Structure 1
Amino acid sequence: MSIRKNINISAYLVVGPENTKNRPVGTIIKDAIEAGFTCIQIRSKVASALELIQLTREASEVIAQAGKSDEVALLVNDRLDVILAARKQGIKVDGIHVGQSDIPVDVCREYLGDDSIVGVSARTHELFEYIKTVDVSQIDYFGAGPLRETKTKPDCGMDLDGKIVIRSLDEISELAKLSPIPVVIGGGVKLADIPPLAQTGVDGFFVVSAVTEADDPKLEATNLVIAWNLNKLNPISK
């Protein structure tokens, strides 16, 4: 079965070399997977295409070595070229995550195929109207947020006026109800946020620095997964 049909975004790590305090990206990913993280996204605005391909290779190998290639999805942020080049080299990459100003979803789907995952950052501007009207036939999940402003991605949640729009738990609950596809929430998420976030009905959380910059990434990742599993509502049928 394609991992697209069985995607699990409950514990989602976004990671790049600029986020690890100079520690190897592969080591951080290994810690997260062993802790129970279910989805890995490679994202970097500083790495070259070749470096991103190598990071993707390392991530894919770590997932394979853990025996979880059919369970843990590996995605690359924005870079369709990197995914295609990695696959050409025999690297298993499960899909892409794109923002509203990145490569269009239909182009991603055309080049990556029906078995690939395509995730999209939900539009900040007129979010709820967007969720109700957007064609989701080619999209597998929405990423939304932030809970609070984050230095990791300063433009997260920026609207058309350049203002950062923070999402309340009530808004996130409404988003979970309205969305026809799974929703993962991030943006400044910390351990203390997980219990109330898990009660909103969304399908998962995503983090960067909470794990990648932690003194003990595996411990922090484990605590996040345990908190989510202890507090989550029954999944909403989509």
Structure 2
Amino acid sequence: MSNIRQNLDISAYLVIGPENTNNRDVGEIVKVAVEKGFTCVQVRSKVASAREMIALCRDCAKAIAELGKSDSVALLVDDRLDVVLAAREEGIKVDGIHVGQSDIPVHVCRKFLGEDSIVGLSAPTTSLIEYVQSADVSDIDYFGAGPLHETATKPDCGLDENGVVITRSFDELTKLASISPIPVVVGGGVKTRDLPALKKTGVDGFFVVSAVASADDPKKASEELVSTWLAS
């Protein structure tokens, strides 16, 4: 197992794509976020082509490397196993993948990416606690859970069979943290003010998109989020 997989830190997790940055450079925002303490970065885009995604991976990997954090800050790609493999073929350091319940199965990701890679999985919304209690976690390193609040960056996140958004209470997350056999990161409209209560649940970290990527001052926003989490 690679050092970065073994020492995976999902405490401050940034999800970012070109549609989130208000036309600003993705790599630059990643650089300031990591500089201010973000510990994991996921490249996610529903509009970028495969080649654009590979270029984004290159920019993000470069930003992390320039800070000397390639061995401690994981770079992941959402959903696109093809992009991870192609980026690696071009010599770009991508550490793994994050997939949802309807994406490529985790055992396939593990087969193609190998034991040194990180594989994260979004836990299902409707049967969250039951799933986490019974899931086979042999191929995955962490669960993503949420949403904590309704969020514009992923409006279809957490819908029940009637199309109503299911959000997560802190009590639910406390139970989730207590029963999960692997680390849990929580997101969905997370703001700085949520972090003290979120930290008390025992989950391993928070993930954000717009709170950093769309912020007027991404560096200041990153610093506030990370320092609040650490102080909570």
TM-score, normalised relative to structure 2: 0.98
Question: Structure 1: which 5+ runs fail to align?
Answer: 232-238
How far apart, CA to CA, are the structure 2 residues paired with 1:120 and 1:155? 17
Aligned with 1:167: secondary structure? coil
> How far is 1:65 from its partner?
0.7
> How far is 1:159 from its partner?
2.9
The letter for the 1-side match of 2:139 is Q
The question of 1:118 aligning with 2:119 is answered: yes
The letter for the 2-side match of 1:67 is G
Counterpart in 2 of 1:167?
Answer: 168
The letter for the 1-side match of 2:22 is K
How far apart, CA to CA, are the structure 2 residues paired with 1:3 and 1:133? 27
Question: Structure 2: which 5+ runs fail to align?
Answer: none
> How far is 1:2 from its partner?
2.4
> How far is 1:169 from its partner?
0.5
**Deviations 1:64-101 (CA, angstroms, capped at 9, x unpaired):** 11000010000000000000000000000000000000
The question of 1:64 aligning with 2:65 is answered: yes
Counterpart in 2 of 1:20?
Answer: 21
Aligned with 1:142: secondary structure? strand
The letter for the 1-side match of 2:147 is P
How far apart, CA to CA, are the structure 2 residues paired with 1:216 and 1:196? 24
How far apart, CA to CA, are the structure 2 residues paired with 1:38 and 1:60? 13
> How far is 1:158 from its partner?
1.9
The question of 1:207 aligning with 2:208 is answered: yes
> How far is 1:161 from its partner?
3.8
> How far is 1:126 from its partner?
1.3
Q: CA RMSD in A?
A: 0.8
Counterpart in 2 of 1:236?
Answer: none
How far apart, CA to CA, are the structure 2 residues paired with 1:89 and 1:123? 34
Counterpart in 2 of 1:187?
Answer: 188
Which sits farther off after the overlay, 104-113 or 161-170? 161-170
Runs of 4+ off more than 3 Å: none
Matched length: 231
TM-score, normalised relative to structure 1: 0.96
The question of 1:33 aligning with 2:63 is answered: no
Aligned with 2:207: secondary structure? strand
Aligned with 1:21: secondary structure? coil
How far apart, CA to CA, are the structure 2 residues paired with 1:63 and 1:161? 42
> How far is 1:156 from its partner?
1.4
Counterpart in 2 of 1:219?
Answer: 220
